[in-house]
Amino acid sequence: MSVTVRAAAKLNLHLGVGAPREDGFHPLDTVYQAISLYDDVTVSEAPAGSADELVVTGSSHVDAAGVPTDATNIALRALAEVACGSAHAVQIAKQVPVAGGMAGGSADGAAALLAHDRLHDLRQPDDLLLAQAARLGSDVPFSLVGGTARGRGRGEVVEPIVDHGTWWWVVVPAAVGLSTPEVYRHFDRLHPDAPAQPAEPTELLAALATGEPVRLARALHNDLQEPAIDLRPELGDLIERGEAEGALRGMVSGSGPTCVFLCDSQEGSTEVLTALSASYDVVLTAVGPVAGAHLLG
């Protein structure tokens, strides 16, 4: 028997970052949105006495070879946390860019936790799964919750937000990923006097409630955009280009290097995709918000 769980990519509509805490993590005040790019994680039991096994495949735009298949993989770390020594075979079919600032690894961790729960019919309460997720990584609880949600703490304290909007995005992944810790370290270099309290998403929440893309575009905010562009100046050119081609607003997704462009409609996103495809190898469209990690079968 096997169980397949689907988990979505995320972007941050607002990412406020404060000065590092004593544990080295940065306090965040963020608004996540899950969008329609997915990783599917299939988990089955492996014969007793065998080791965990992992196979990763990916869509043509995904660097599946760049994903570790040893015990450091977040899906295997998730199973090591919860499986009490029994072995599993795991397959990950990736659509979410690797090291792209879209929580692809976190999606795999969340999916593995849920798949393990359903495979063994544990039916653990949500708060237990969320606590397991928080131990795995800052974005993993959001990958379970999905939709649109505010994240505080180091990102792991997640509170769903009512979002009746349908938001159309163009997504441009980079061929080579960026290291999240490196982008945070660069934020610290650029902002040695960052406030302890991260910027609150007041404007963003007001814009979201209107359902109007033009309002939301104006309110998008990412404190990691400046360090990401400083490390990868070509991201600044890409954002300018997308906006010149008709996107309402372009921004770096999370710690990057994926860039996302908010468009006024589905048709608008198709036009921006067509225009950017002339110069960029991989250009995708996606819609949000979509569901958190859920069972496919």
**Does residue 12 sit in helix, strand or coil?**
strand
**Selected catalytic residue, list 10, 29, 108, 117:** 10
Residue 68: count other Cβ atoms within 10 Å of its Cβ. Answer: 12
Distance CA 280, CA 230 (A): 20
Q: Pick from 184, 231, 243, 277 the residue near ligand C5P by CB under 6 A.
A: 184
Active site residue 94: no
Residue 35 to residue 261: CA distance in whole angstroms:
12
Q: Is 25 in the site for ligand C5P (CB under 6 A)?
A: yes
Least CB distance to ligand C5P at residue 158 (A) = 13
Catalytic member of 29, 139, 163, 223:
139
Q: Is 68 an interacting residue with respect to ligand C5P (CB under 6 A)?
A: no
Nearer to ligand C5P, 88 or 186 (CB): 186
Quick one: residue 4, left, alpha or beta (phi over 0 = left, psi -120 to 50 = alpha)? Answer: beta
Q: Contact with ligand C5P (CB under 6 A): which of 181, 244, 274, 296? A: 181
Binds ligand C5P (CB under 6 A): choice among 16, 100, 141, 155: 155
Residues 6+ apart with CB under 8 A from 187: 17, 26, 194, 223, 224, 226, 227
Is 139 one of the binding residues for ligand C5P (CB under 6 A)?
A: yes
CB-wise, 26 or 232, nearer to ligand C5P? 26
Nearer to ligand C5P, 163 or 223 (CB): 223
Q: Is 29 marked active-site?
A: no
User: Does residue 158 touch ligand C5P according to CB under 6 A?
Assistant: no
Beta-strand runs (E) in the chain: 2-17, 28-45, 53-58, 88-94, 148-152, 157-160, 167-172, 221-222, 249-252, 259-263, 284-288, 294-295
CB of 291 to ligand C5P, least distance (A): 21
The first and second tokens of residue 292, run together, are: 């958190």
Here the tokens at position 24 are 């080295």
Q: Which residues bind ligand C5P (CB under 6 A)?
A: 25-26, 28, 137-139, 154-155, 180-181, 184
| Residues assigned a catalytic role | 10, 139
